[in-house]
A = this chain, B = another copy of it.
C-alpha cells in the first residue's frame, strides 16, 4: 500500500496538504495566507514596516496595503513609535489575537486528522523529525 514517494515528492506533497488545510481554515474568516502569516508573526512582536517586510519576505510597499486591510478589519493597529517620529509599530489588537488563536485551533484539528493514520509514537517521531529539519534551516 504505502508507496514511498521519496523525500522530495513526499515533502512537497505534504507541504501542499498542510498549506491547503491552513488556507481553507483561513478562508473561512476571509484571511489570505499572507494575512495569516501577518497575524502569526505579530503574536510575539511589534515590528515596524521594514522589519515586517523582512520577516514576511515581502517588499515594504506590499506591507502598507496588507496592514491597511487588516487594520480596516480591526485586526491590527499602527502605533506611532516614541523614539522615531517616522516609524510605526504594527500591533495585534485583541480581536486580531483572538482570530489568530481561532484559526490556529481549527487548523490544529485538521492536522490531527491528517496524521490520524499514524500511531502516537509515529506522530511523535514525525514531529521530532520536522522540528530537526526546521532547526537545521535556522542555522
Contact = CB atoms under 8 A, between A and B. Distances in A.
Interface of A: 1-8, 10-20, 22, 37, 57, 104, 107-108, 111-112, 114-118, 122-137
A138 B30 CA distance: 27
* Count of this chain's copies in the oligomeric assembly: 2
Contacts of A124: 7
B136 A117 contact: yes
Given A13-B130, A126-B126, A135 B3 contact: yes
B10 A107 contact: no
B118 A133 contact: yes
B128 A2 contact: yes
B7 A134 contact: no
Given A117-B132, A130-B11, A137 B5 contact: no
Contacts of A57: 20
Given A7-B112, A114-B133, A125-B129, 19 more contacts: A3-B131, A4-B127, A8-B108, A8-B111, A10-B134, A11-B14, A11-B18, A11-B126, A12-B22, A14-B134, A15-B17, A15-B18, A17-B133, A114-B137, A115-B133, A117-B132, A117-B135, A117-B136, A118-B129
A57 B21 CA distance: 12
B123 A7 contact: yes
